[in-house]
Amino acid sequence: MWREAVRNTLGTVAFAILLLGSGATGGSCQSTSSPESPSSTSNSASSGVQATDQQDQSSKLNSKDKKDKPDKGKTHVHLGAVTVGASYTRFSNGFLVPFWGYGFYPYYFGYEPFFYDPFYSSYFYEPYTSGFAYGPDKGEVRLEAKPSSASVYLNDAYAGTAGKLKHMWLAPGAYDLTVAAPDGSAFHQRIYVLSGKSLKIHAKIVPQNE
């Protein structure tokens, strides 16, 4: 409980610093602003509450859409060995998604959204790396998809490539699985994961030109 309170307080302070200073902080604090940060993340406005590293992937898919690229900013402050940071993503319609994070400099630092995040590990630079490991209360999803470079999304959040996600252990629940090929064609399926049960998914991606 007290950890939550400390986290929330740190997040609020960090975000206030970001808003007030717009990336400039005084004293001995260091401050940076990087719109191309790999960890500054956001999701599409359709889901609204989920935020992961998929921004980078979706920007790859829609690289031609430079106009709709959301405005992003981030900063962090070193307080001794402790680092507190905040970032935001502002969409073209004015919708603002704030993020914050903390850690021990120079290790273990990332950003997480203020809002609901379905996968706790998603605020690390490498999303979901620890989220798919075996657990006694999890269910297995065996994914077969070609090409292996296809991007895998769970509930619209980027999870990794199909080649690296042949076996995923997920908590029981319903997930919207999307496998998107580099050419833009995609496979969608809603999957229901039960603990101790293995689910085999053969994602057949139909190329767009067919």
Partner 1 sequence: MMKLKLTRWLTVVLIWATGVALDAPRGTVPKSAADQYPAHAVQDGINIGAVLLSTNDVRHAFSTRINECCLVVEVALYPQKDGLVEVSLNDFALRVVGQDIAAKPSSAEVVAGRLYREAQPQQNQRDVSISPTAGIGYESGGIDPVTGQRRPGGVVTSTGVGVGVGAPPPKPGSNEADRRTMELELREKGVPEGNTAAPVAGYVYFTIPPRKNKKYQFEYSLNGKKVVLSL
Residues that bind partner 1 (CB under 8 A): 45-49, 93-95, 137, 139, 171-174, 190-197, 199
Residue 5: which residues within 8 A CB-CB, separation 6 or more? none
Residue written as token pair 């293995």: 198
Any alpha helices (H) in the chain, and if so which ranges? 2-21, 54-61
Q: Which of 207, 208, 166, 204 minimizes the C-alpha distance to 188?
A: 204
**Under 8 Å between Cβ of 178 and 188:** yes
Residue 50: CB minimum distance to partner 1, A: 11
147/196 with CB nearer partner 1: 196
Residue 194: CB minimum distance to partner 1, A: 5
Please calculate the CA angle 164-180-121 and round it to the nearest 5 degrees: 50
CA distance 17 to 124: 22
108/120 with CB nearer partner 1: 120
47/59 with CB nearer partner 1: 47
Residue 200: CB minimum distance to partner 1, A: 10
30/189 with CB nearer partner 1: 189
Residue 10: CB minimum distance to partner 1, A: 27
